Structure 1
Amino acid sequence: MSYVDALPSDEESCYYAEHLEFRPDDPSYDSHDPSSDNDRPPPITDDELASVLPRCPNLTSALLSGIPDLSDRTLILLATRAPHLARLSLASCRGITDLGLSALAAHATALTALTLSHVRGATDRSLARLVRGLPQLRALEMDGLPLVTAHAVRDVWLFARGLRRWSMSGCMHVADEGFPWVPDEPQGGVGAAGPPTPARPKTKTWLESLPPLVLPATHKLTELGSLDLSHCARITDAAVRGVVAHAPRIRELNLAGCIELTDRALRALCALGGHLVLVDIAGLWRVTDEGVFALASACRRLRVVDVSFIPTLSDLVVLELASLPRLQHLAAAGLPRLTDHALCFLAEHTPSLETLHLSYCTQLTLDGVRAVLRRLTKLAHLNLTGVPALRRRGVRRFSEPPSEGYEEGKQGVYREFRGGKVQALGAFLEKEEWRRREAERANVPFRPRGDDSRALY
């Protein structure tokens, strides 16, 4: 039996309960954001849950992110009274500390999926105990843990070899020392020129003094298919080389916001070859056309690609990405050098494209947008926010409404099109192009219209 935002009411229902789920009361409320303000109590309190758990021995799944005041006491009760617990989410439960997590590692040994995102009391010690004590762990989410460092990440590489999905987005203190070390390949090619300039000596912290994590070549996380390292701003190309060497079958990789990465990291990703189907490298401002070109050339099964907000990229990158035979979702927002040439190439070579994000690509014009809408019949989501050409009269009515608090004066014109409105926008632009040609033929001034009329005047 499953219960969502409710508790079993009697002994029998408690005994047969298998799934408990408590969702946050306000979806827009960010419980791990200290600036958020929400005085409404959760529908179920920690004490109420604690009174029921001793009578629920058959629980297999507990998603408790809707109880932000969840305590170690309740977590210990859950771990000791539910021996078959396989899936647990503690996301944003601010009352959890190492005490409760250590009990979880000792008693809930059947866990296969664990979410600890934004549990600010989690430290390296408790994570080490968890990965050592949970031999069946297949999915681990540890996003936004401010007390977690390279020590805990090293333990995951050493002991959680059965992981299939691993996320540690926004772990600000995780650095290269947490990842397997592999020898650095000599940098050659056109850009190589003599020995590197000696760097100024830098005082190392105690974390940077950790010895390299040298793993045997046979030690691989062969089942790891999804890895999220986004916004781990301290990792460098060396960490990516270690990931690829010891997790060679990654299918989905998120490196967005890892601002220290360069083209060398992307060249290392080429070793994933046909395994890689999703890659997010948004915000990697050190990356150039060369690195993205190499990645797209080596990983021909890519379906989802995000290269947003990399100001050095040009049309050449989009041309190479458009040649991917299975490309379905492309995000190339914030590329100031992108022009209509890239859009025309996309229109001709990506018939399976379903999602296209081109926000803040300021050089795009309505001609390029019209070419895309004319040829890409499967396109269901088009985002052109911040593109000045979309201020044209009559376009706003096809766009989704902006979110509350959106300021066009500061954030640019909001233009996001979904579903049938994508095709409606294409039909409108085609109609206006027909009117322009007819006006030229009749030798009369062309004046844009905002409605669906074909009248020239």
Structure 2
Amino acid sequence: MAYEQAGPPWTPPSVRVRSATQGIELSLSVSPSSSTGSDMPDFVDLQASAVSSPAPLAERVPGLDAGASASPADLPHEILLQIFGYCMGEQQDLLSCLLVCRRWCACGVQLLWLRPCFHRLSALFKMIHVMIQPEASFPYAQYIRRLNFSLLAGDLDDQLFGRMAACHRLERLTLSGCCQITDDTLIRVLQHTPHLVAVDLSGVAKLTDRTLYQLAATCPKLQGVNLSGCALVSSDGVMALANACHSLRRIKLAHCVRLDGSALLALLRACPILLEADFAGCVRVHDAAVREAWVRPSLLRELRLAGCTALTDRAFPTAAVLAEAPATFPICEHLRMLDLSSCSYITDETVRAIIAHAPRLRNLTLAKCERLTDDSVYAIAELGRHLQHLHLAHCGHVTDRAMIHLAQHCTRIRYLDLACCVQLTDDSIAAIAMHLPKLRRIGLVRLVRLTDRAVYALVERHTSLERIHLSYCDQITVPAIFWLMLRLPRLSHLSLTGVPAFRRPDLQGMCRVPPKEFNQHQRQSFCVYSGRGIHDLRRFLQRAYADQVTATQYGTLPADRQRIFYESLHRFLQPRE
């Protein structure tokens, strides 16, 4: 519908504006001369209304040309869209803007349909019904830029999704978990989306290389792709995507089991601004492809290779590889995150090489790299203040000496996972508590040598911890946990599964319900507190330890901590003046 830029007050024809987000209609067939008793407010033309419009702009601003526009309706379309964007949080405010004038109405409708939201299947039906109307007042489908169907993943099928072929200006598409969608429908929709920037197709099990070929043919602006769990995708499709979409910044290919190293090679060579690559669970990825990431200077910030079990030391710039290389390996200044979980063939040589060539790593995951020893931990300590997240679960050869050294040098660690590092003792935890003031989460699962001394030390100096995992630490007792809960006001998650002291019915009554897939034995030992359960457990233990007789049922606090608790309790109970 064509609108004039200026003229007499707007007396619109019968126009029906529809909201894609709520499936509602607004009748805009109200004229400025409507009675005050009308259900809808009158349209206000700011140029013609002497009541609501200020003095002419030329009279208010000295030196301005008398022909300058005094109406906000004359602002450029792009500026109006930018201003109305601040009303997106309150849709009623945006709907009110529709009733001002014809240009505001056009801009408001465009924003209402920018990003439809589907919480129920009925909302999608309503949107489709509006889109297919032959005499629609606005080209609604052309206004849609973002579509997210993740909340309808189990219900969306080819017939419904095929209607989105009319959305030719689509920029972002999310189909995560939509397992009923097939290649034919995806191709029919994607062939009309040349402006597509990001697409999430994770869990679309029927997707094959045909969809990737279509993306490569029609979406040259693509920057982000998520194909995690698409088991039918092969390296040929990823190579075609890489060779056509040189602006790719992020690609996730986790558990695409048919991929091999050629897909990673193509991405590294054809996409110079690639920032993130996820090949977790791609067991066919080989050493030569990963070595390319170290040989070729790039902007790569995140590289996930968890579960790439074929990788060895020759995938990294170790001394043996450097001796054979014709040129030196560059320093990867941009690399911040590296995940090598379950790469069981790598050794301390690999870790030393990684730290030497990626000196600014913040997040390093080496869980289940069972050959690593203290030498790796000493090398990691060279990252110093850069390191923030470290995962060493199941690295059973790590000892207290190396862990104490790490805590002394990497003082900005926020998340530390030491599950199943069975040689660690209370001394390591005491050093961690002393030197890591920013620590938020710590995993100490199955550290069987830990005692209450570790728990008391953990909260002795700092109270910033939010999540603690102490499952299967058999020697932990109730008094230590009670003291921990008193000292950590921010605690939101506490795992005590398999701890004998917490198998009491009165304590387990406040923990979370076990997952449905657990067997009977797992259900009996399950003990995890989070959210409301943390609050309830803290209050329960406070009442229990306020009574000395009751406290003996759960164990006695050490004398110095018992005195502190009773003093604080006495101050709390004292009447205020």
TM-score by structure 1 length? 0.83
Shift, 1:404, TM fit? 1.1
For residue 392 of structure 1, report the CA deviation from its aligned partner.
2.1
Contact 1:161–1:220 under 8 Å retained in 2: no
Q: Which runs of 5+ in 2 are unaligned?
A: 1-144, 150-155, 555-577
Q: Is the 8 A contact 1:46 1:67 kept in 2?
A: no
SS of alignment partner, residue 9 of structure 1? helix
Q: Contact 1:170/1:230 (CA < 8 Å) preserved in 2?
A: yes
SS in 1 for 2:191: helix
Alignment of 1:121-200 (within 5 A): 121-159=258-296, 161-182=298-319
Are the aligned partners of 2:257 and 2:283 in contact in 1 as well (CA < 8 Å)? Answer: yes
Structure 1 position 215, deviation (Å): 6.0
Where 2:428 maps in the other structure, the secondary structure is helix
Q: Partners of 2:494 and 2:356 in 1: how far apart?
A: 36
Q: 2:343: which partner in 1?
A: 232
| Counterpart residue type for residue 2 of structure 1 | R
Distance 2:515 2:499 in 1: 18
Counterpart-to-counterpart distance in 2, 1:410 and 1:11 = 48
Amino acid at match of 1:362: D
Contact conserved, 1:180 with 1:214, CA < 8 A, in 2?
no
Number of the residue aligned with 2:148 = 4
1:73 & 1:386 partners in 2: Cα distance? 49
Task: Indicate which of 483, 487, 510 corresponds to 1:398.
Answer: 510
Paired residue type of 1:166: L
Q: Which amino acid aligns with 1:47?
A: D
Question: What is the match of residue 423 of structure 1?
Answer: 535
1:348 is matched with 460
Q: 1:245 aligns with which of 352, 356, 360?
A: 356
Deviation per CA, 1:102-145, whole angstroms, max 9, x where unpaired?
Answer: 21121011100011111112112232122111111000000011
Tell me the equivalent position of 1:189: none
Q: What letter is aligned with 1:423?
A: H
Residue in structure 2 matched with residue 299 of structure 1 by the alignment: 410
Give yes or no for the alignment of 1:372 onto 2:484: yes
Q: Aligned to 1:55, what secondary structure does the other structure show?
A: coil
- Are 1:19 and 2:172 counterparts? yes
CA contact (8 A) 1:137 1:160 kept: no
Offset at 1:8? 6.8
Deviation at 1:349, TM superposition (A): 1.8
Q: Deviation per CA, 1:343-393: give whole Å up to 9, x if none.
A: 111122221111111000000011111110111111111111110000124
Q: Does 1:257 align with 2:368?
A: yes
Aligned twin of 1:383:
495
Deviation at 1:212, TM superposition (A): 4.9
Aligned partners of 1:396, 1:411: CA distance in 2, in Å? 11
Secondary structure of the structure 1 residue equivalent to 2:214: helix
What one-letter code is carried by the residue in structure 1 that aligns with 2:193? C
The code of the aligned residue for 2:146 comes to S
* 2-structure distance, mates of 1:377, 1:126: 48
Between 52-61 and 67-76, report the one with greater CA deviation. Answer: 67-76
Q: Partners in 2 of 1:18 and 1:222 — Cα distance?
A: 31
**What's the counterpart of residue 521 of structure 2?**
409
Aligned 8 A contact 1:408 1:414 in 2: no
Deviation at 1:447, TM superposition (A): 6.3
* Residue 359, structure 1, aligned to residue 513, structure 2: no
1:436-455 equivalences in 2 (<5 Å) = 437-438=548-549
Partner of 1:46: 183
In structure 2, the residue matched to 1:332 is: 444
Paired residues of 1:387 and 1:412 also in contact (CA < 8 A): no
Give the residue type in structure 2 aligned to 1:236.
Answer: T
- For 1:12 and 1:401, how far apart are their aligned partners in 2? 46
SS at match of 2:247: coil
Q: Which residue of 1 aligns with 2:121?
A: none
Alpha-carbon deviation of 1:96? 1.3
What displacement does 1:413 show? 1.6
Structure 1 residues 174 and 87: CA distance shift in structure 2, 3 A: same
Aligned in 2, Cα 1:171/1:411: closer, same or farther, shift over 3 Å?
farther
Deviating more after overlay: 410-419 vs 60-69: 410-419
How far apart, in 1, do the equivalents of 2:258 and 2:405 lie?
A: 41
1:214 is displaced (CA, Å) by 7.6
Instruction: Note closer, same or farther for the CA distance 1:69–1:11 as it changes in structure 2 (3 Å cut).
Output: closer
Amino acid corresponding to residue 537 of structure 2 in structure 1 = L
Q: How far did residue 98 of structure 1 move?
A: 2.2
What letter is aligned with 2:283?
A: P
Secondary structure at the counterpart of residue 481 of structure 2: helix
Stretches of structure 1 that go unaligned for 5 or more consecutive residues are 26-41, 184-208, 441-445, 449-457
Matched residue type, 1:126: A
| Aligned-partner Cα distance in 1 for 2:518–2:462 | 32
Q: CA deviation at 1:434?
A: 2.9
The worse-fitting range, judged by mean Cα deviation, of 386-395 and 2-11 is 2-11
8 Å contact 2:181–2:206 — kept in the other structure?
A: no
Instruction: Report the residue type matching 1:387 in the other structure.
Output: V
Q: Per-residue deviation at 1:154?
A: 0.6
CA RMSD of aligned residues (A): 2.1
Matched with 1:198 is none
Say which structure, 1 or 2, has more relative contact order (CA 8 Å, 6+ apart). Answer: 1
Go from structure 1 to structure 2 and tell me whether the alpha carbon gap of 1:268 and 1:210 turns closer, same or farther (over 3 Å shift): closer
Instruction: Give the corresponding residue for 2:28.
Output: none
Do 2:287 and 2:315's aligned partners in 1 also have CA atoms closer than 8 Å? yes
Report the TM-score, using the length of structure 2 for normalisation. 0.66
Q: Give the letter aligned to residue 498 of structure 2.
A: G
Deviations 1:32-81 (A, max 9, x none): xxxxxxxxxx2321111011211110000011113212111210110121
Partner of 1:28: none
Q: 1:171 to 1:81 in 2, by over 3 A?
A: same
Gap change, CA 1:126 and 1:378, over 3 Å in 2 = closer
Matches within 5 A, 1:311-322: 311-322=422-433
Q: Higher Cα Rg: structure 1 or 2? A: 2
Q: Distance in 2 between matches of 1:357 and 1:309?
A: 12
Please give the secondary structure, in 2, of the residue aligned with 1:349.
coil
Higher helix share: 2
User: Which residue is 1:117 aligned to?
Assistant: 254
